Chain A
Amino acid sequence: MIDVEAAKLAIEKSKTKEVVDFANDMVRDHEAVNVQALDLVKKLKVTPEDNATSQALSKAAEAERAKLAKLEGAAFDKAYVANEVAYHKQVNGALETLLIPSAENAGLKSLLETGLKIFQGHQQHAEHVAGMLK
């Protein structure tokens, strides 16, 4: 969700086609992941709870967004894309080492595994865009 907000900021602020395209891809994929997650929550009749991992991720992302909001032009592009690389790295680390191994429900495990592949893809895509900005 937080990642979608950073992307929306990029769509608004960036003048670089590659950055805006990337941000649009992020909005589209993350919203699709969210729809799948909400469907699963409904199916399992569970209530998602905050935990230390999700809180740390949210807090870091909010701080980053505040920082990005103050930047313009090339400085914004660079900071946004670098943050996307770092953010996806962090999320993928959490998925691999913590969230997937501790998921007991098969549906949840499968969604997290698909999420990991999606976000590994986003990390590579972000790294590619970062390379183009240099």
Chain B
Amino acid sequence: MKAGMLIRSLAGALALALVASPALAATIEVTIDKLVFTPANIQAKVGDTIEWVNKDAFAHTATVKGGWEVMIPPKSKRRITLKKVEAVDYFCRFHPNMKGHLDVAP
């Protein structure tokens, strides 16, 4: 009897978690250290936030050719919230040898 109630309430909590989860947006951290974006490839969803953490003493950007740009000053963090579905390559405008890729799913 007791075990049955426990299972029921666990199932209830689980159902609630499943229903609630689509609304929970994730924050994905991308580290910039010695001119490297890590991870280089990001899989994200609309509503997620990307946060770039620049550990270098140099200013960098995350720039999509013909698209958006995020300026990330030395030793600082910058974030954007993803608003649309897209698959884009991005690079640093100051150091075009720095490359990353972003996939945004619905």
Contacts and interface: CB of A to CB of B under 8 A. Distances in A.
Nearest to A26: B94
B74 A128 contact: no
Interface in A83-134: 113-114, 117-118, 120-122, 124-125, 128
Given A114-B34, A114-B35, A124 B58 contact: no
A53 interface: no
A79 B21 CA distance: 58
Residue picked from A32, A120, A121, A124, most chain B C-beta under 10 Å: A121
B94 A125 contact: yes
A27 to B, nearest CB: 12
B96 A118 contact: no
A117 B35 CA distance: 7
Query: What is the predominant secondary structure among interface residues of chain A facing chain B?
Result: helix
Nearest to B94: A25
A118 B59 contact: no
B35 to A, nearest CB: 4
A116 to B, nearest CB: 10
Nearest to B60: A121
Give the interface size class of chain B.
10 to 19
B31 to A, nearest CB: 15
Contacts of A128: 96
Give the interface size class of chain A.
10 to 19
A25 B95 CA distance: 10
Interface in B22-69: 34-35, 57-59
B97 A124 contact: yes
B33 to A, nearest CB: 10
Contacts of B95: 117-118, 120-122, 124-125
A125 B93 CA distance: 7
A31 to B, nearest CB: 10
A118 B96 CA distance: 10
A131 B37 CA distance: 26
A121 B74 contact: no
A121 B63 CA distance: 14
Interface of A: 25, 28-29, 32, 35-36, 113-114, 117-118, 120-122, 124-125, 128
* 6 interchain residue pairs of minimum CB distance: A121-B95, A117-B35, A124-B96, A32-B57, A121-B97, A114-B34
